[in-house]
């Protein structure tokens, strides 16, 4: 380690969003000239911690110290002023500005005129320091992703960066580009910059990190030099939760094969996905950020149709080009974004539930049969225990858990054979989560096939008969219930 005095410390950081505690008493210490990896499952609190460090969120409790002195980071501009910068998986580049303009875009205006020659010379000096060779006077439009990230790093250096956050920076890079990025990181390290490196790729973490900190469920677990950590011990720390806190579904009676997917692919998203689904089966889709699990669900529902491979429904080949066609085939899809894509918030609960099947509630004159709508909504209100004084209430006035039940009702009302559930319990409280789990079990017992996409690994393991693991658009394997463990699934998801 290059220094013994921290450049930045985060102490007892806590943050809550409604009933969800995103961070609870978390600590992080960064030293000059150190590459510090931050690990954790989806939902562990990494993103929240980064947003607090860069001034997007304000912590409910705790303090941030720079060179031992408390600071308040109330905005990204303030963070930059302290020398804290971040580069992300998708660089924030202005394509029609030159490379030099992109490097200095965050600088506050000093005077009324721009010294273009000086800007170009200083941009070239920074890039030369990084051993990056670009024409600083050319538009940034033609840059590769790796070159865009180099420009982002140069921008951070121009702001006298002291702490650089690299958030999944290699997710879209080739192996050669990853090597280039790591060389840049090592150059910054020798210049005394503290680098916080976030990645789901375990091989990269152990190739580049000096120290590894692990979060789990919004809490600090450990922080150790890389030499004291193994990939196996890191995974154990990341998944150390007990499954007893989750509803464990008993296996249903598995029926005949309903769906066969063969070498399904969508250019730029996923490829060679192959699996079967049977009536009464819950097939879990597991994977980390960027695994492209949702893309497979969107293809099966016709929102983003596949462009290669084959889908067979009850033994017959089908081409699914639209949600309307998918619904006719008996497929329903519950989106992960209920507020923006799953519900029409100003409309009533009854209207939302009957929207996909509206022709069934319309007379020959085009008038909506209000009583029929209400009767259907009341049925699902009782079946799913939707807590509302009236099904005429606007869906936007419900709690998150009850909104999710309305979305489920909406698609169950289509009487599907195959139900795709994308993050069905995200952002809802423990009680509502348990109710959704029981509903999934009941639907499977009744013979429905359910594809469960979830970032909550204990949920996937507790609810699924089999688990399909994806990584960066590629299928890594399918695990039977008896062989699916947290460590095995996460190891496959991380490659």
Do 255 and 267 lie in one domain? The reply is yes
188 is a domain residue: yes
- DSSP 3-state assignment of 76? helix
Within a domain: 1:
no
Of 188, 219, 240, the one marking the end of a domain is 240
- What pLDDT score does 245 carry? 45
pLDDT at residue 284 above 90?
yes
230 neighbors 237 (Cβ within 8 angstroms): no
The mean per-residue pLDDT over the stretch 421-426 comes to 88
Tell me the CATH number at 92.
3.40.50.300
What are phi and psi for residue 61, nearest 5 degrees? -155, 155
Asked whether residue 158 falls in the same domain as residue 294, the answer is no
197 and 286 in a common domain: no
3-state secondary structure of 269: coil
Q: Does residue 335 contact residue 342 with C-beta atoms inside 8 Å?
A: yes
In angstroms, the Cα distances linking 55 to 35, 73, 85, 105, 257 are: 21, 5, 10, 19, 51
> Does residue 374 share a domain with residue 362?
yes
Average pLDDT of span 198-221: 90
What is the model's pLDDT at position 417?
95
User: Tokens standing for 137?
Assistant: 């006077």
Q: At which of 176, 207, 240 does a domain end?
A: 240
82 pLDDT more than 90: yes
Q: Do residues 312 and 208 both lie within one domain?
A: no
Specify if 479 maps to a domain. yes
Which stretch, 29-38, 94-103, 129-138, 155-164, has highest mean pLDDT? 29-38
Q: Within a domain: residue 132?
A: yes
Side by side, the strands of the sheet bearing 35-39 are 84-88, 163-167, 194-198, 35-39, 211-216, 219-225
Residue 219 sits in the same domain as residue 318: no
Question: DSSP assignment, residue 450?
Answer: E
Query: Are the CB atoms for 273 and 263 separated by under 8 Å?
Result: yes
Beta carbons of 353 and 413 less than 8 angstroms apart: yes
Q: Do 92 and 137 fall within a single domain?
A: yes
Percent with pLDDT over 90 in the chain: 52
Output the pLDDT for position 108. Answer: 62
Residue 3 forms part of a structural domain: no
Instruction: Tell which of 202, 225, 240 closes a domain.
Output: 240
Classify residue 158: in a domain, yes or no: yes
77 contacts: CB under 8 Å, gap ≥ 6: 55
Q: How far apart are CA 201 and CA 457, in angstroms?
A: 17
Please give the Cα distance from 248 to 441 (Å, whole number): 9
Task: Tell whether 280 and 398 lie within a shared domain.
Answer: yes
For residue 304, being part of any structural domain is answered with: yes
Which of 116 and 223 is assigned the larger pLDDT?
A: 223
DSSP 3-state of 375: helix
107 in Cβ contact with 158 (< 8 Å): yes
Host H or E run for residue 231: helix 231-238
Torsion angle (degrees, nearest 10) of CA 449, 452, 457, 460: -20
How confident is the model at residue 468, as a pLDDT? 97
Residue 2 lies in a domain: no
For residues 131 and 261, state if they share a domain.
no
Domain that holds residue 192: 8-240
- On whether both 235 and 267 belong to a single domain, the answer is no
Average pLDDT for 80-95: 85
Same domain, yes or no: 206 and 332 = no
pLDDT of residue 152: 86
- Whether 203 and 289 map to the same domain: the answer is no
Instruction: In whole angstroms, give the CA distance from residue 410 to residue 380.
Output: 9
- Domain count for the chain: 2
Task: Kindly report whether the global pTM for this prediction surpasses the value 0.75.
Answer: no
Distances (CA, A) of 99 to 117, 127, 350: 13, 10, 53
Average pLDDT in the 18-23 region?
A: 77
- Asked if residues 454 and 285 have their Cβ atoms less than 8 Å apart, the reply is yes
């Amino acid at each position: 380690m290059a220094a013994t005095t921290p450049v930045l410390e985060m102490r007892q950081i806590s943050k809550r969003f409604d009933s969800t505690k995103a961070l609870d008493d978390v600590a992080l210490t960064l030293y000059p000239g150190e590459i510090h990896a931050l690990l954790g499952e989806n939902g562990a609190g990494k993103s929240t911690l980064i947003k607090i460090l860069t001034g997007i969120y304000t912590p409910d409790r705790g303090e941030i110290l720079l060179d031992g002195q408390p600071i308040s980071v109330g905005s990204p501009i303030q963070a930059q002023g302290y020398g804290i910068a971040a580069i992300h998986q998708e660089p924030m580049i202005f394509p029609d500005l030159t490379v030099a303009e992109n490097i200095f875009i965050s600088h506050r205006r000093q005077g009324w005129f721009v010294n273009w020659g000086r800007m170009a010379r200083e941009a070239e000096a920074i890039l030369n320091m990084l051993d990056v060779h670009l024409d600083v006077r050319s538009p940034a439009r033609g840059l590769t992703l790796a070159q865009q990230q180099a420009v982002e790093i140069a921008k951070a250096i121009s702001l006298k960066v002291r702490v650089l956050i690299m958030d999944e920076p290699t997710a879209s890079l080739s192996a050669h580009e990853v090597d280039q990025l790591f060389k840049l990181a090592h150059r910054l390290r020798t210049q005394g910059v503290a680098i916080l490196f976030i990645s789901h790729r375990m091989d990269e973490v152990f190739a580049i990190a000096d120290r590894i900190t692990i979060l789990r469920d919004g809490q600090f677990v450990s922080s150790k030099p890389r030499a004291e950590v193994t990939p196996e011990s890191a995974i154990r720390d990341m998944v150390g939760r007990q499954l007893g806190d989750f509803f464990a579904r008993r296996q249903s009676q598995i029926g005949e094969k309903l769906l066969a997917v063969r070498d399904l692919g969508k250019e730029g998203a996923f490829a060679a996905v192959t699996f079967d689904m049977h009536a009464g089966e819950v097939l879990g889709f597991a994977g980390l950020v960027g695994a492209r699990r949702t893309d497979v669900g969107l293809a099966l529902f016709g929102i983003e149709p596949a462009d290669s491979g084959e889908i067979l429904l009850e033994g017959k080949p089908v081409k699914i080009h639209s949600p309307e066609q998918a619904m006719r085939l008996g497929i329903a899809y519950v989106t992960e974004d209920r507020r923006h894509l799953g519900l029409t918030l100003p409309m009533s609960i009854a209207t939302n539930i009957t929207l996909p099947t509206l022709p069934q509630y319309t007379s020959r004159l085009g008038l909506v049969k209000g009583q029929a709508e209400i009767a259907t909504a009341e049925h699902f209100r009782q079946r799913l225990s939707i807590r509302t004084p009236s099904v005429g209430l606007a869906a936007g006035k419900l709690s998150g858990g009850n909104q999710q039940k309305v979305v489920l009702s909406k698609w169950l009302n289509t009487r599907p054979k195959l139900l795709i559930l994308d993050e069905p319990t995200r952002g809802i409280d423990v009680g509502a989560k348990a109710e959704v789990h029981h509903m999934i079990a009941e639907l499977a017992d009744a013979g429905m096939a359910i594809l469960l996409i979830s970032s909550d690994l204990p949920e996937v393991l507790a609810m699924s008969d089999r688990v399909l693991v994806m990584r960066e658009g590629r299928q890594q394997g399918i695990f039977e219930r008896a062989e699916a463990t947290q460590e095995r699934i996460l190891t496959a998801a991380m490659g």
